[in-house]
Amino acid sequence: MKKVFIDTLGCQMNKSDTERIYGMLSHFDWDVAKNENEADLLIVNTCAIRQLSTDKAYSRLGAWGRIKKDKKKLGLDVKIGICGCVAQLEKENLLKKFPYVDLVLGTRNIPKLPKLLEEIKDKRICAVDDNPIEENNYNIKRDDSISAWLPIMEGCDNFCSYCVVPYTRGRERSRELDAIINEAKKILNDGFKEIILLGQNVDSYGKNLESRANFALLLKKLDELEGNFRIRFTSSYPTDITDEVIEVVKNSKHICECFHIPMQSGNDRILKEMNRRYTVEKYKEIVEKIRKTIPNVAITSDFIAGFPSETNEEFQDTLKAIDEMELDYSNTAAYSPRPFTKAGKMTDKFVDEEEKKNRLQILNDKVKAASLKSNEKYIGKTLEVLIDGIKDNVYQGRTRNNKVVHILDNNAHAIGEFINIKIERVSTWCMFGVPPKIEIN
């Protein structure tokens, strides 16, 4: 069989796309290569959220170009492709920049890949267009794990001034409700214990569907499925989280008590410059509503350090917001200008690179402190843990609110097992505990 190797960079959506590519190609006699040196086809699945991610992709292509040249001397024909967000942005420029690349595949062209692989035997191709993604019945080659990605929608209509997603993933497009439910059933039948719903903004699910199904209805339908499993979802846009969604999570059996709600800045002027449709006070109201409604909920976020024109005083507002709302964890990044975006054109307002690095370090320290404080609340409590791995003979898993737990006992457990664990101590990024002792009268 021919072999394909995919190097996946970036977000969960890219990882899900890779699983679908592997599954689709398996129908056409392609197998997964263990490494790049044994592959007949090399694909880098790219992320464009920051320049560093783009640079990583280009570096990978350069290394693969040398592999292709060496293989050609041996009479072997290796093909190289690039897909994902960088492909969607750069289009034909990639064929000019990298003469050894055979295929540029846009984010909405994945279903065409088998046909395109036949065509690149004779010519180099750029397949990037704006046609909607088609549903297909190909298998999905998911990683051997307990969790499965399940995309429910793609694209974004928000056009935040720093974000390239609307230009790489397009406008919002939701999958039909029945297609999602059927895929979820297949995931559970395959033995997975956790379904993670994906979308650039999951709470906008259904807006473009004739049925007008919404995210709350989708969650209800999924929660009705039989079995012992969990449901997670990411990401949520603050003002799109409805009271109905919060109530569904509160009253559900399978949906985890965890919301990832990117805030990006704790200052109102910067939020306006970012084209975020809320104020700091509005974000706080949403967080407070969720915390009052759902016990033991974890709320995580995203923040950008050094957005164009951000002053040090405005940056301090972000640190203050993390403390005031007791956010459990946050992803952080220094601002990176992206093509086509409004903020990317604000060159006269860019924050100095050294200052951005300094602010990012301060922000990371704040996030570490917040994470430790969040974990400390659970010392002495007994939590349900889904075991997802073992390292150095120590089993580990996650709580319903997505806390990592290391299990400090000598008993044998099974990956995918649900077990109650009493938390004895914590660190910044994880918690440690043992099964509670059984009292015998």
Domain positions in the chain: 2-127, 147-376, 382-434
pLDDT at 344 over 70: yes
pLDDT at 384: 98
Superfamily classification of domain 2-127? Methylthiotransferase, N-terminal domain (3.40.50.12160)
Confidence of residue 136 (pLDDT cuts 50, 70, 90): confident
* pLDDT of amino acid 6: 98
**15-63 pLDDT, tens per residue?**
999 999 999 999 999 999 999 999 999 999 999 999 999 999 999 999 9
Average pLDDT value for residue range 279-303: 98
Q: Residue 241: is its pLDDT beyond 70?
A: yes
pLDDT band at residue 242 under the 50/70/90 scheme: very high
DSSP, residue by residue, 211-275:
T---HHHHHHHHHTS-SS-EEEEE---GGG--HHHHHHHHH-SSB-SEEE---B-S-HHHHHHTT
Whether the predicted pLDDT of 135 surpasses 80: no
Give me the chain's average pLDDT, please: 95
Q: Which CATH superfamily is domain 147-376 in?
A: tm_1862 like domain (3.80.30.20)
305's enclosing H/E stretch is strand 298-305
Average pLDDT, stretch 318-331? 98
389 pLDDT band, cuts 50/70/90, is very high
Percent of the chain having pLDDT more than 70?
Answer: 98
CB 90 within 8 A of CB 108: no
Task: For residue 341, give the amino acid letter.
Answer: T
Asked if the model's pLDDT at residue 410 lies above 90, the reply is no
State pLDDT tens for residues 243-282.
999 999 999 999 999 999 999 999 999 999 999 999 999 9
Residue 439: predicted pLDDT: 45
**Residue 138's pLDDT is what?**
82
For range 293-320, the mean pLDDT: 98
Q: Which residue has the higher pLDDT, 131 or 192?
A: 192
pLDDT for 440 equals: 41
Q: Which run of H or of E encompasses 177?
A: helix 177-189
Model confidence band, residue 441 (pLDDT cutoffs 50, 70, 90): very low
pTM: 0.94
At 182 the pLDDT is 96
Report whether 180 contacts 217 (CB < 8 A): no
pLDDT at 144 over 90: no
pLDDT (tens digit per residue) in 92-103? 999 999 999 999
**pLDDT, tens digit, 9 for 90 and up, residues 194-224:** 999 999 999 999 999 999 899 999 999 999 9
Residue 405, helix vs strand vs coil: strand
- pLDDT reading at 365 higher than 50: yes
What value, to the nearest 5°, has the Cα angle with vertex 162 and ends 84 and 164? 20
pLDDT of residue 133: 62
Spatial CA neighbour of 222 closest among 181, 183, 178:
181
CATH architecture of the domain formed by 382-434? Beta Barrel (2.40)
